[in-house]
Chain A
């Protein structure tokens, strides 16, 4: 969905480096999410935010942190990247309690 953008789209980094993935949305949604996708494991929730002052851990938050800089921006950081964090990362947004989530195009991250 073009209303949800992610940067970068691809990134290769080395073990131990700090890296930030960014998500922006023009949908005006209050809720934003970060997911990780691995082959055979589906989409797993890393962090989610229901508004600017609300940050919650998902099922796999260890090794990750987030920042909600504004309603439209939600960043995911890997403080010290490790190879098993190699995956496809998706940002998503939703409005209120509607539950319908709209996904960005994804960031493919490779940690060597």
Chain B
């Protein structure tokens, strides 16, 4: 099955600086890569996703890049703010084939923004 590795496990950045979280996946058939943000006491919330036919996707201060050859994808947060402090999870899935649409999650990155 799919295996997703996520690094780093903890990350502290100064407010206003950029943060980058990286994930690698094992199954070359994976074609859907979402990122989730989990705030304290809440369930994970989807913040951005990318499909394998796209190399990069941006949404305001958040961007995701995908390198299919190397089988890795990254989350980039620019101009970080205190409200960006949370745990972030990457995930991968083989989409489009009935029975295979299950997400495999990384182990999470605790991001702390230092004021």
Query: Which residues of chain A have a CB within 8 Å of any CB of chain B?
Result: 1, 4, 40-45, 48, 50, 56, 58-59, 90, 92, 94, 97, 99-106
Contact = CB atoms under 8 A, between A and B. Distances in A.
Interface stretch (B52-60, B67-75, B77-85, B99-107): B99-107
A59 B105 CA distance: 12
B26 interface: no
Contact of A43 (B32, B42, B45, B89): B89
B96 A97 contact: yes
A58 B1 CA distance: 11
A43 B1 contact: no
A92 B102 CA distance: 12
Interface residues of B, number: 27
Nearest to B100: A97
A43 B44 contact: yes
B95 A103 contact: no
Contact of B46 (A4, A41, A58, A102): A102
Contact of A90 (B9, B41, B44, B93): B44
Contacts of A42: 6, 89, 105-108
B74 to A, nearest CB: 17
B51 to A, nearest CB: 9
Interface string B86-115: 000100010110110111111110000000
A69 B75 CA distance: 38
B95 A99 contact: yes
A79 to B, nearest CB: 24
Nearest to B36: A103
A92 B98 CA distance: 18
Given A48-B102, A97-B96, A99-B101, A106 B43 contact: yes
A99 B100 CA distance: 10
Contacts of A58: 102
A1 B106 contact: no
